Amino acid sequence: MSPAAPPAGPEARTPSQQARRQRILDASLTLLRERDHDRIQMKDVAEQAGVALGTVYRYFSSKEHLFAEVLVAWAATLGTNISRHPLRGTTDAERLTEVLHRSVRAFQRQPSLARLVATLETSSDPLAAEIFDRLARITDAVYVGALHDVDRDTAQRIVAVVDAVLASGLRTWVAGRVPIGRVYDDLTDAIALLLGARAQLARS
Amino acid sequence: MSPAAPPAGPEARTPSQQARRQRILDASLTLLRERDHDRIQMKDVAEQAGVALGTVYRYFSSKEHLFAEVLVAWAATLGTNISRHPLRGTTDAERLTEVLHRSVRAFQRQPSLARLVATLETSSDPLAAEIFDRLARITDAVYVGALHDVDRDTAQRIVAVVDAVLASGLRTWVAGRVPIGRVYDDLTDAIALLLGARAQLARS
DNA sequence: GTCAAAACTAGAACAGGGTTCTAGTATAGT
DNA sequence: ACTATACTAGAACCCTGTTCTAGTTTTGAC
């Protein structure tokens, strides 16, 4: 049988375990500031967290799960980042563009996180699926909120498209196939296409 | 120093080398019909191709390169597939939707290829970059060709967006996060958004 | 037809890194 | 105090891509 029931979720038993778990996540995030997750070894994480390798595995059943949880933790930051300041734009297009550019900027500051997202995106682990759901809920709410002049359903559909453009842009950027400026531009462009004709229509 | 100059590109020295190289690619493609590239070992490829492991490495410097070339070979098929039959639609939206649905269908028949694309998409290898360029050139030409009523530049921009939606859809599908039908629907939807208002505008 | 150079083969050996296991020590709840 | 559980350091395991070895075939030049 298994070694014992490990503390699965964030609801660790004792405070010290809670702290230990957090220390491992923090350590991972720290290491991600200097290199990609595929250049980070589990023993590096253990060492950085001041914990034995076995302990890392007690809290996270695999490297993939560990980094998925790291992403969850970071997602909260992202949500705060893009919704902290009020949007300055006066049109839907301006506001949506602004908020998406903020997302790009957040990933631009943490390229390893962008690469992590790109990698986990192709994982079929159920935990990964749940995490993307959560990430999408956080960001989509903000994106949809930027659209004042269209009904909710249309807003959702527009956001879905724009999200795809964002994801594609980030992926080609982290793969080194396009400069980051291109990602900003493509988003601006896509939004113009999606809202431009619509605005003209409304105006007439 | 290196063992010797291996035949790099498809321009192998002798016909038998040309054939051997092709046999390795065919073997890979055959194996991809039953499992994913990450479940295929280099020795499996060698065996299936009736060739020694070292020979595979003589023709392809790494597993990643091998499968990148497999993708190149398959891309030709894809191009043929989606452009073989004439498009039946009478509007830009109908034609573009149809041709994109063909792309989805092609990947639907070869899920491993879709997963291969998703994986290589995050690779920063220059060869991968070149391959995606080539793939994009093949498909984008067809997509743009489906748009009769907009100028070339606008068509390009629309196609770029739709491409992103396709890529996102395929990725979430291969990750098992959405059913394939959803991918078709999202494309239909995105195209309607991009061309719907525009058509209305033209009509008035 | 002969011969050296290059390619091919079967298979062993190597390497990196995720994961698991071991033996001993520390902690905590009863 | 006692026992179950957690933690530690580190070894060990394992899978798989990649490289190497020794011997055999092919190939191309003369």
Find the residue in A nearest to B124 (Cα): A175
Q: Give residue B4's pLDDT.
A: 52
Locus of tokens 């894809």: B78
Whether residue A46 contacts residue A53, with contact meaning beta carbons closer than 8 Å, is answered with yes
Q: Which of A193, A195, A200, A201 to mutate to test the interface with B (most CBs of B within 10 A)?
A: A193
A126 CB less than 7 Å from any atom of strand D? no
Question: How confident is the model over A114-137, as a mean pLDDT?
Answer: 93
pLDDT range class, residue A15, cuts 50, 70, 90: confident
Question: Which residue's structure tokens are 């990609």?
Answer: A36
If you average pLDDT over residues A193-204, what whole number do you get?
78
Q: What is the pLDDT of residue A2?
A: 39
Average pLDDT over residues A182-189: 98
Contact B167 A164 (CB under 8 A): yes
Report how far residue B104's alpha carbon sits from residue B59's, in angstroms, rounded to the nearest whole number: 31
pLDDT at residue B80 in the model: 92
Backbone angle region of B152, left / alpha / beta, with phi > 0 → left and psi within -120 to 50 → alpha: alpha
Is residue A89 helix, strand or coil? coil
Cβ neighbours of residue A85 closer than 8 Å, sequence gap 6 or more:
none
Alpha carbon separation from A171 to A59, A176, A182, B51, B119 (Å, rounded): 30, 9, 12, 36, 11
Give pLDDT, residue A199: 72
What distance in Å separates residue B4's CA from the closest CA in chain A?
31
* Confidence at residue B65, expressed as pLDDT on a 0 to 100 scale: 96
pLDDT of B203: 66
Contact call for B174 and A201, based on CB within 8 A = no
The pLDDT value recorded for residue A1 is 38
pLDDT digits (tens, 9 = 90+) for A94-105: 999 999 999 999
Terminal alpha carbon distance of chain A: 71
CB A64 within 8 A of CB A54: no
Residues of chain B with pLDDT under 50: 1-3
Q: Do B189 and A160 touch (CB under 8 A)?
A: yes
Question: C-alpha angle with apex A79: A151 to A58, nearest 5 degrees?
Answer: 130
Which pLDDT tens digit goes with each residue over A170-179? 999 999 999 9
Chain C nucleotides near the protein (CB, 7 A): 6-12, 17-22, 28-29
